[in-house]
Amino acid sequence: MTDTPGWASPSSSEPPRDGVRPPADTPAAVPGPSAPPQATPGWTGQYGQNNQYGQNNQHGPYDQYGRPQWGRPSPGGRPPYGWDVPHSPRPGVIPLRPLGVGELLDGSVNTVRRHWRTVLALSLGIAVVAQGGTVLVDLLVRGKTGAATQTLRLLAAMPLQLLLDVLAAALLTIVVSRAVLGRSATAGEAWRDARPRLLQLLGLTLLTLLMGLGVGLLGFAPLIGYRAGGAAEPATAGLLFLVGLLTLPVAAWLWIRYSLAAPALMLEKQGVATALSRSRRLVRGSWWRIFGITLLSKVLSLVVAVVIAVPFRFVGLLLGFETLDRQGLTDSTHQGVAMVVVMAVAGIIAGTLTTPFMAAVGVLLYIDQRIRREALDIELARAAGLPESGGTGWGEQPDQTPARR
């Protein structure tokens, strides 16, 4: 549900720190009411005890605004709120609290599983167009450009793949954001919500892509110039190659730094520059965690794609579409048309399954970072219609799994 107040970004320009989450309904830039004169009584650690404000104290100690303390140990010595709560509201595919790695991956799989009609319909259509374009390019440039065939094939397919990646990210972000609230979205609804921001998302994607490519090209420019000048000293070329490799960590750093910009743009409905700034703030202090989760999800997707492709490869071999020579297994330039079509079918199946998974991981990472820093879980629980009452604090659909780091 992209138009709910839960997705609105905070008004303060200074991002909150991890572990000190502000009250969700009090803008950070606006001072709240002064504290009552009496001190807050010590919390005994028993869920359900009321404090001096008459509020149920199940979430832990309350601050001067009467809101639950975020990220601070209680007087009784308990861990910060969110880590020891045995029941968290779960209106959709994830519990509304800070998530562990396993919960992020499980939430992505649950999104595909629970909303498979919309998710797989969108990803299947995108995968069919992508693989169809790849096969068409392969047939057009096959063997006509010699050693440059593979490079030209990759370059020719990039514009279509870029457009499809943007479309997939836009549509699936809408689906995942509604799945978090326990709501479904049809393909038509996802398109209507995503369409106004497609051009901005395309510009954002191009900008972030050019950042990484620009850094890499800058690093390898000396080597390219050295080889273009006709020099062929192995030692010098090797040294320049190492210089180019040193720029790859910078490109990876930029990639993760702005990896949350796309969901921020789609869900907060802000401009490209603001989305980049939001991603930078949300990633700050959590770069390694986000990098590890993103890398793990990509490795899992690659494993799934390989597992799907291998049986199709052997089926093609058994049907006589290709031979077991070295060229047939490693160089797709020399594959027969029938084998290309078979592998395209494998690519369609793999893309249908992995594309929504990767999109869901990105959106859930964005939501998790906002829960950790901005108490977004409270706003999402309200947007999902969960009343703030009952034994779990939100009254409906509790999550029975213990919170984890």
CB 361 within 8 A of CB 52: no
Say whether both 65 and 120 belong to one domain. Answer: no
121: phi then psi, degrees, rounded to nearest 5: -65, -45
Burial class of residue 79 in the structure, from the number of CB atoms within 10 Å of its CB (0-12 exposed, 13-18 middle, 19+ buried): middle
Say whether both 181 and 65 belong to one domain. Answer: no
Q: Confirm whether 9 is domain-assigned.
A: no
CA 60 – CA 47 distance, rounded (Å): 8
Which tokens sit at 325? 């020579």
Q: Going along 86-185, which residue ranges are E strands?
A: 88-89
pLDDT score at 148: 59
Say whether both 23 and 132 belong to one domain. Answer: no
Which tokens sit at 84? 């020891």
Say whether both 216 and 113 belong to one domain. Answer: yes
Q: Confirm whether 161 is domain-assigned.
A: yes
Q: Confirm whether 181 is domain-assigned.
A: yes
Which residues, in sequence order, are bridge partners of residue 398?
Answer: 89
Q: Confirm whether 382 is domain-assigned.
A: no
Q: Confirm whether 393 is domain-assigned.
A: no
pLDDT score at 67: 45
Contacts (Cβ under 8 Å, ≥6 apart) of 393: 56, 58, 59, 85, 87, 89
Q: Confirm whether 10 is domain-assigned.
A: no
Q: Confirm whether 402 is domain-assigned.
A: no
CA 268 – CA 370 distance, rounded (Å): 12
Say whether both 44 and 181 belong to one domain. Answer: no
Taking only the tens of pLDDT, the chain with its 405 residues reads 444 546 877 754 444 444 555 544 444 333 334 344 333 333 233 333 333 333 344 444 444 444 444 444 444 444 444 444 446 788 999 999 999 999 999 999 999 999 999 999 999 999 999 988 888 887 777 656 555 566 777 777 788 889 999 999 999 999 999 999 999 999 999 999 999 999 999 999 999 999 988 898 888 888 888 777 777 778 888 888 888 888 899 999 999 999 999 999 999 988 999 999 999 999 999 999 999 999 999 999 999 999 999 998 888 888 776 655 544 444 555 567 788 888 899 999 999 999 999 999 999 999 999 999 998 988 898 888 887 655 445 555 545 454 444
Say whether both 134 and 74 belong to one domain. Answer: no
Say whether both 41 and 181 belong to one domain. Answer: no
H helices present in 286-375, as ranges: 287-318, 326-330, 337-374
pLDDT score at 256: 95
Which tokens sit at 404? 């984890």
The distance from CA 58 to its chain's CA centroid, rounded to whole angstroms, is 32
280: phi then psi, degrees, rounded to nearest 5: -60, -40
pLDDT score at 226: 78
pLDDT score at 254: 94
CA 226 – CA 397 distance, rounded (Å): 64
Domain endpoint, select from 87, 115, 145: 87
Burial class of residue 99 in the structure, from the number of CB atoms within 10 Å of its CB (0-12 exposed, 13-18 middle, 19+ buried): buried
Say whether both 233 and 142 belong to one domain. Answer: yes
pLDDT score at 98: 93
CA 391 – CA 262 distance, rounded (Å): 37
Say whether both 174 and 72 belong to one domain. Answer: no
Compute the half-sphere exposure of residue 379: CA atoms within 13 Å on the CB side of its CA.
25
The answer to pTM > 0.95 is no
Domain endpoint, select from 63, 87, 111: 87
Say whether both 290 and 338 belong to one domain. Answer: yes
Q: Confirm whether 205 is domain-assigned.
A: yes
Domain endpoint, select from 87, 109, 134: 87
Say whether both 33 and 158 belong to one domain. Answer: no
CA 379 – CA 27 distance, rounded (Å): 13
Say whether both 73 and 153 belong to one domain. Answer: no
367: domain range? 101-373
Instruction: Indicate the number of domains in the chain.
Output: 2
Query: What is the C-alpha radius of gyration for the chain, rounded to an integer number of angstroms?
Result: 25
